[in-house]
Structure 1
Amino acid sequence: MNKIRIGVLSTARIGRTKVIPGMQRAKRCEVTAICSRNEEAARRAAEELNIPKAYGSYAKLLADPDIDAVYIPLPNHLHVEWTLKAMAKGKHVLCEKPMGLNDGEVNRLINATALDPGVKVMEAFMYRFHPQWVETKRLVDQGAIGKPTSIQSFFSYFNADPDNIRNKADMGGGGLMDIGCYQVSLSRLLFNAQPRRAFGWMDKDPEFGTDRTFSGMLDFGGRLSTFTCSTQLAPYQRVNVLGEKGRIEIIIPFNAPPDAPTEILLQQNGETRTITFDACDQYTLQADAFAEAVLEDKPVPISIMDTFANQHTVDALFKSAQSDHWENC
């Protein structure tokens, strides 16, 4: 077998518009089925995306012996439940971030993978596979900006739709869970460490009860990452990584377009140069990396322990926002 056959649990918009088209361009996987609790919705999505099979329930898709793995873009509160059900059927899992609502939920997945290590489970932090991030990580690790001591990031969009799952607190909505988790992830990636403590501040929407704006500080012991994310501000995203000898600025860090070049700025010795990357689809790259781990029976690029560490940090930020004190990570 040189490709894995993937089934998609739900017809969520991110899957239909971004992830599935990216997967369909991948070399090492193919999307063979999609499902929804509404069979007609599944059929429409299958026809629109040229997917061979459509199912009217998640359970029916998981029962298909011709599916090797599943991609899960369900609402956050369903991630762990359906990851465990997929694993029980012997399916490998690529699940949207965040994988759980808290680190206790992720710990259930750790226990499940320990019992069945042959089943691969990976959180879908697609940004890590884009060449601009691969190069940023390489530059930081090789000392291109000296010792990195400060990371500043901003990520926002505007969505005040009361029916949108991102605005439903009981489904794991809100800024930190939806997009702030990227900022936590990149901080841990570039500093190659887990923060010692976290401080969080949030502004809750009075109607939705979700954090519409969340700002955080992550203390890595002499190194600091600061960030703001919001679901109700003008759309914007940027990451700056500063070191003793230079700076790297990522212009479109998270939603890199699949059909246009991207750029990072590298400042060294008082001069700034632009590094340009050819257009590529980070969802395609993610799919191939996940498929490679399955086909070659090697660890997935984003381990379940990395997922736990990220969620543990998110939990500490939420706890700090409630206590108004620094919280240990």
Structure 2
Amino acid sequence: MADKPTLPTPENTQPANGDSAVGRRTFVKAAGAATAAAAALSSHGPFVRKAKGAETKLRYGWVGPGSRGFRLLQRHAQHIDIGECVAICDIYEPNLQQAIELFGGKPTGYTDYRKLLEDPNVDAVFVTVPLFVHYEVTKAALEAGKHVFCEKSLVFTPAEVHGLRAVHEANPNLVIQVGLQRRYSQFYQAAKKLIDDGAIGKVTHIQAQWHRNTSWRRQATPEMEDQINWRLYRRYSGGLCAELMSHQVDVADWFIGAYPTSVTGVGGIDYWKDGRDIYDNIQLIFEYPGGEKLQYSSITTNRHIQGRRVPGDGCREVILGTDGAIEITLIPYGEGMRFRDPMKEKMGADTGGGETWKAGATVGTDTLEQGEGVPLVPNLRDLNGDGVGFIEKEFEFAKRWMYNKGIMSPSEEKDPEYVELESFMRDVLDGGRPRSDVEVGLQDSIAVMLANLSMDEQRKVYFSEIEQMGKDGEMTRAAGAEKADN
């Protein structure tokens, strides 16, 4: 077993004390009082104020500037000129001060998120706390009349699905966006346009994986274990389904244009036997209304991707259609998408009269026959060496083919995380609707819950079952919570 990592950063909004159950009790111990106070503040939505100068800016508060939250603040939010951070909340003092200093000490600091919600200068709230408190903070923010950006997964339990829908229906003018940034990626948007324009025929299958070679564990003292490594325990976390799969099942929902009807899978704690109770590997199959299927894999013992030529996180989606395929691979050098043709004409199959991507002046038949496809975005590794001319010619042919289809060749001009934050601010200011809105977020959360339930109960789970789960008001998870708490 690999050594534990060193030099951890205390995680998100967990306090530095020895109470192993401190997360929920400390963070939301006065939820009843918070709800009452929030109701008094609630209205149809906050008035977005004019900052100094002519330009309207969104004044926002940030709850939970831990590892994920601080990264978003540092890399992206502080550089978005249509937003102004006016308040930050964290119950761990080092996290709080680090985030405030990022903005030159200007934001007001809070250790109680309810106090931040009472701040009249705050129009919207970014929620980047651990998953098991997403609902409490998001619900209180909406009831206080604040627009909300919440990291995925949006909610943790079936009861929270029903609860948040009710809160949203009571506050329909408030913007709710979920942190599913692939919907804000130019690569994925171009792939979606290819699919919608029929460039690969009917999508029948999607294969997705997110493979890593890491324990996912961070070094922590015994008294800080739950606070630092909350992702490893079911009472706080949805495991690999919530942290990784949620992104890719959302891509499948988006590309297929529907939500799943059932899921079946198998998972286990087969390698990292270190006290965790979330699975260290999962294999799942989601079925969709039109017969489409998503085959999903996430493991923590190897990050290899077949055909990968450069190192990186083993994250990929392959969209298989009757006339072609799209492959999207996240790697450090930004290779985004490939298109491959199954050569129906070569095999004598009926193409239905549609246009087939045939070999052109710079794409030899050998390339297509070998199933290699053509890069739609050049691999930067290939642009450093003797093969530059060939790659550029291949790329130009691919672009011309896409232009003939009415599709622009994608290139990531901005990080999708930056775009999603900026888009949230813009939607609040202009009255827009997020690409990853509340229903997208709730359906994504349902997929996480039911995937875990399928693996726990070793059965096929139907998505219609969620309607009867959690109706008694109990905030228990769909799977495993009782065992984990014993």
TM-score normalized by the length of structure 2: 0.63
Deviates further, 290-299 or 88-97? 290-299
Distance 1:143 1:160 in 2: 43
Identical aligned residues as a percent: 24
Distance 2:175 2:299 in 1: 32
Shift of 1:136: 0.9
Asked whether the equivalents of residues 107 and 308 of structure 1 are also in contact (C-alpha less than 8 Å), the reply is: no
Asked whether the equivalents of residues 210 and 297 of structure 2 are also in contact (C-alpha less than 8 Å), the reply is: yes
Shift of 1:36: 1.0
Distance 1:232 1:121 in 2: 36
Alignment of 1:1-329 (within 5 A): 1=50, 2-50=56-104, 52-53=106-107, 54-157=109-212, 158=214, 159-161=216-218, 163-204=228-269, 206=273, 207-220=275-288, 221-231=290-300, 233-234=302-303, 235-252=313-330, 261-268=334-341, 269=357, 270=368, 272-276=373-377, 277-329=411-463
Distance 1:111 1:164 in 2: 32
TM-score normalized by the length of structure 1: 0.91
Shift of 1:262: 4.0
Shift of 1:309: 1.9
Q: Go from structure 1 to structure 2 and tell me whether the alpha carbon gap of 1:219 and 1:41 turns closer, same or farther (over 3 Å shift).
A: closer
The alignment covers a number of residue pairs equal to 324
Residue 363 of structure 2 aligns with which residue?
none
1:65-105 deviation per Cα after TM superposition (whole angstroms, max 9, x unaligned):
11111111100000000011111221111001001113321
Distance 1:200 1:236 in 2: 20
Asked whether the equivalents of residues 23 and 283 of structure 1 are also in contact (C-alpha less than 8 Å), the reply is: no
In structure 1, what residue type is equivalent to 2:102? E
CA RMSD of the aligned region, Å?
2.1
In structure 2, what residue type is equivalent to 1:265? R
Q: Go from structure 1 to structure 2 and tell me whether the alpha carbon gap of 1:34 and 1:183 turns closer, same or farther (over 3 Å shift).
A: same
Asked whether the equivalents of residues 40 and 56 of structure 1 are also in contact (C-alpha less than 8 Å), the reply is: no
Structure 1: tracts of 5 or more residues without a match: none
Deviates further, 159-168 or 280-289? 159-168
Distance 1:8 1:107 in 2: 25
Give 1 or 2: higher strand fraction. 1
In structure 2, what residue type is equivalent to 1:164? N
| SS class of match (1:52) | coil
Distance 2:92 2:260 in 1: 43
Deviates further, 49-58 or 113-122? 49-58
Shift of 1:33: 2.5
Distance 2:255 2:74 in 1: 28
Shift of 1:133: 0.9
Bigger-Rg structure (1/2): 2
Distance 2:424 2:277 in 1: 35
Deviates further, 201-210 or 184-193? 201-210
Distance 1:3 1:262 in 2: 34
Shift of 1:225: 0.7
Distance 2:191 2:81 in 1: 25
Asked whether the equivalents of residues 238 and 448 of structure 2 are also in contact (C-alpha less than 8 Å), the reply is: no
